[in-house]
Each structure stands twice: as C-alpha cells, then as structure tokens.
C-alpha cells in the first residue's frame, strides 16, 4: 500500500508544557489506526496537527503529497495556504458534533462541496443523499440538528466529513459525548466505512478498547507526548510490552 501520511519529528510546547515530543507517524493508504493513551497525553493535539488546525514548533506533516511545517518556519500566510491544501484531503469528526444549527441535515452536507469544490446544488444534493443513506439517516434529511439524537448528529457529522471526499478521516473520540446506547450506532457506521476497496484511511483517537481491537489494523499507545508502543491490536491491547501501556490497560480489564 502507498504511504498516504507522514509526520516527522513533531514537537509542540504550549505554556511551557511539552505536548508532542518527537512524534513520527506513517500511515498507509486504506489503513485504520487507533490511538490510545491517558487524557492529556497529546492524542487529540496530534490529530489537530495532522489537519493543520494546530501548528507544531518543529517537524513536518505530509498528506497526499501536500507538506506542512511549522508556522514559525513558513509564516502565517504560507502556513494557512498549505493547511488549506492539506485539509482538501482530510476530514475530521470531533467530540462535539459541530453541525450548523441553522441548517437542516442535508444542507449541512451540501454546504462545503458547493463552496469549496464548486459543485452545483443538484450535484451536492445527490452526493449528500447518497451519504445520508450510507449512515442510515435518509429519513432525517430535512431535520435540524436540535431535532436529532446525539448518535444521529454524530453520524450526520461523519457524513458531512465524507461529503468532501477526503482521503483520510480523523476521529477525535467521536463517541465520548454520547450516551452508552448511542455509541454502538456510531461505531457500526465507522466499521461499515472501513469495508471495501475504496475505504478511506481512518485514524481514530478513542477510549473504546474493544472497538479499537476490532476496528484497527494498528494501535498506537501515547504517553507524555510520545508514541511509546505500536503494533497489531492483539499485541498492543492483549500483550503489551511497555510498562506504561500495561498500566494504562489495567483500567479497561
């Protein structure tokens, strides 16, 4: 498989605290990667750096041939130009659903393809309808976000990310804001998206260890801003070698 994402020697310090400490990451096209670790270890910040939402102090990110280094190195204008090009290939699903409250669900999906990609309203609607069917929300196309359950809103947010036809999907703990009974419906959609030859590359930050084991081709464990262990899910989650990984996973037994 071709390498789609490369992050090299990422370092970030905020308010005197090291958030990322020489992080290297390679992700192949179509690969599914789960990132686990304690709160505050840098997982979510790493995703934001991969998407150009946060600049690093040192290091670089390359996504589908588009490269992005630090704000200090590039300057604000050039950093934002490059970040926008990176985001053409990357969709992100956040903990909070971030749907536009003044638009119904299908308009939420249509907006970015029309504005950014120049799709006609008819083409954007056709794409949106296909994606809503894919996440099981065809009957809710005209509903506004406040009329949807949390699980439905998160599935809608996933469909909105897919509407830009990204090569990579980043999930930042997408089930953390959901009631337990809604978690399974979101995880089921994520599993479905991972099927087939045209599946997007997916990188997931999660505390759902059982799902990470089923979902991922590879699991990374982060601690104090570093990736300290990685490998197949069965190795990292069931037979971890690093003492920090072992200690963390005891909470999920």
pLDDT tens profile 66-108: 999 999 899 999 999 999 999 999 999 988 778 999 999 999 9
Tell me the three state secondary structure of residue 229: strand
Q: Which range, 1-5, 115-119, 140-144, 210-214, has the best average confidence (pLDDT)?
A: 140-144
pLDDT value of residue 194 = 61
pLDDT value of residue 181 = 76
Mean pLDDT of the 186-195 span: 77
The secondary structure element, H or E, covering residue 51 is none
Q: CA gyration radius for the chain?
A: 18
CA distance 55 to 39: 20
> In the sheet that 17-28 helps form, which strands lie side by side, from edge to edge?
17-28, 3-14, 58-63, 66-68
Mean pLDDT of the 94-123 span: 92
Q: Which CATH number fits domain 3-89+168-252: 3.40.50.300, 1.20.1730.10, 3.10.20.30, 3.30.590.20?
A: 3.40.50.300
Over 80: is that where the pLDDT of 159 sits? yes
Query: Residue 152 has which token pair?
Result: 């439905």
Percent above pLDDT 70 for the chain: 97
Mean pLDDT of the 110-125 span: 94
Count Cα neighbours of 204 within 13 Å in the Cβ-side half-sphere: 29
Over 80: is that where the pLDDT of 240 sits? yes
115-119, 179-183, 242-246: range with lowest mean pLDDT: 179-183
Contact 203, 29 (CB under 8 A): no
Over 70: is that where the pLDDT of 64 sits? yes
Q: What is the DSSP letter of 253?
A: -
Q: Where are the domains of the chain?
A: 3-89+168-252, 99-165
Question: Which residue reads 């005891």 in tokens?
Answer: 250
pLDDT value of residue 230 = 97
The secondary structure element, H or E, covering residue 172 is strand 168-172
Q: Which residues contact 27 (CB under 8 A, 6 or more apart)?
A: 3, 4, 5, 33, 168, 201, 203
| Alpha helices by DSSP H, 75-208 | 76-87, 105-115, 121-134, 150-162, 180-193
Over 80: is that where the pLDDT of 1 sits? no
Mean pLDDT of the 148-170 span: 92
Over 80: is that where the pLDDT of 197 sits? no
Residues 30-59: tens digit of each pLDDT: 999 999 999 999 999 999 999 999 999 999
Contact 153, 127 (CB under 8 A): no
């Amino acid at each position: 498989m071709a390498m789609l994402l490369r992050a090299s020697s990422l370092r970030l310090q905020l308010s005197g605290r090291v958030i990322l400490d020489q992080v290297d990451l390679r992700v192949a096209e179509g690969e599914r990667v789960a990132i686990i670790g304690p709160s505050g270890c840098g997982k979510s910040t790493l995703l934001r750096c991969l998407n150009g939402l946060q600049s690093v102090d040192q290091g670089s990110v390359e996504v589908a041939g588009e490269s992005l280094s630090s704000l200090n190195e590039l300057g604000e204008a050039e950093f934002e130009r490059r970040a926008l090009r990176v985001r053409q290939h990357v969709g992100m699903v956040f903990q909070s659903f971030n749907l536009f409250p003044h638009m119904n669900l299908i308009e939420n999906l249509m907006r970015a393809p029309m504005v950014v990609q120049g799709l006609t309203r008819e083409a954007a609607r056709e794409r949106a309808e296909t994606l809503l069917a894919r996440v099981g929300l065809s009957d809710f196309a005209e509903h506004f976000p406040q009329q949807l359950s949390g699980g439905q809103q998160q599935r809608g947010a996933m469909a909105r990310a897919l509407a830009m036809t990204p090569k990579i999907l980043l999930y930042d703990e997408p089930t953390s804001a959901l009631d337990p009974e809604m978690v399974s419906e979101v995880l089921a959609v994520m599993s479905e998206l991972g099927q087939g030859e045209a599946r997007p590359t997916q990188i997931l930050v999660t505390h759902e260890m059982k799902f990470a084991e089923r979902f991922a081709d590879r699991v990374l464990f982060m601690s104090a801003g570093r990736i300290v262990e990685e490998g197949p899910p069965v190795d990292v989650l069931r037979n971890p070698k690093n003492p920090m990984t072992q200690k963390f996973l005891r909470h999920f037994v």
